[in-house]
Amino acid sequence: MIALSVAAVLAVFLLYTSIAGGGNPSISPSELQGRTGKVQLAGLVVGPVVGDAHAGGLRFRLRDIGDESSARVAVRYSGSVPDLFKVGRHIVIDGRLVNGAFVAAPGSMITKCPSKYAPKKSGDSS
C-alpha cells in the first residue's frame, strides 16, 4: 500500500512538471542582460565557431531568432556537440551569464532544424 502511494505521488509530480514546465525560463539573447541566475537560452548560432568542446570549450555567438539586428552574446560551451550544430542553426542551451559571456552547462545543447518549422510552400504536395 505504501509503495503504491509513493508511486502515485511520483506519477503526479512527473505529470505536473511536464505540464507546468518545471524548468528554467527560456529567453533570447536580447533578454539576457542583467540576468544572474540559471536560464535556458534559445538563439541562432552566428560565426565564427572556434575551439574544442572537450578541451577548453567551444566558443561562438548567439543572436535572437528572426532578428538580424538583435544583440549578440558570446557563448562558451563544453561537452557533447549534436551532429546538427553549425552556424545558422537554432539551438537551446542551459547556463548563466558570467562576466558578459554565457557559460553553458556541459552537455545541455539541443539543436533545432529551422526548415522543419517553416511553413510549407504553396504547391507543395507533401
Nearest CA to 74 out of 107, 56, 93, 97 is that of 97
The full set of domain ranges for the chain reads: 24-116
Condensed to tens digits (0 to 9), the pLDDT of residues 75-107 reads 999 999 998 999 999 999 999 999 889 999 999
- Pull the grid cell for residue 28: 533570447
Residues 6+ apart with CB under 8 A from 41: 26, 27, 28, 29, 32, 62, 73, 75, 92, 93, 94, 95, 102, 104
What pLDDT score does 39 carry?
A: 92
What pLDDT score does 124 carry?
A: 54
Phi, psi of 80 (to 5 degrees): -70, 140
pTM: 0.70
CATH 2.40.50.140 is right for the domain spanning 24-116: yes
Q: Quick one: what percent of the chain has pLDDT higher than 90?
A: 46
Could you report the average pLDDT of every consecutive run of 10 residues in the chain (126 residues)? 83 62 73 87 92 90 88 92 91 92 93 64 56
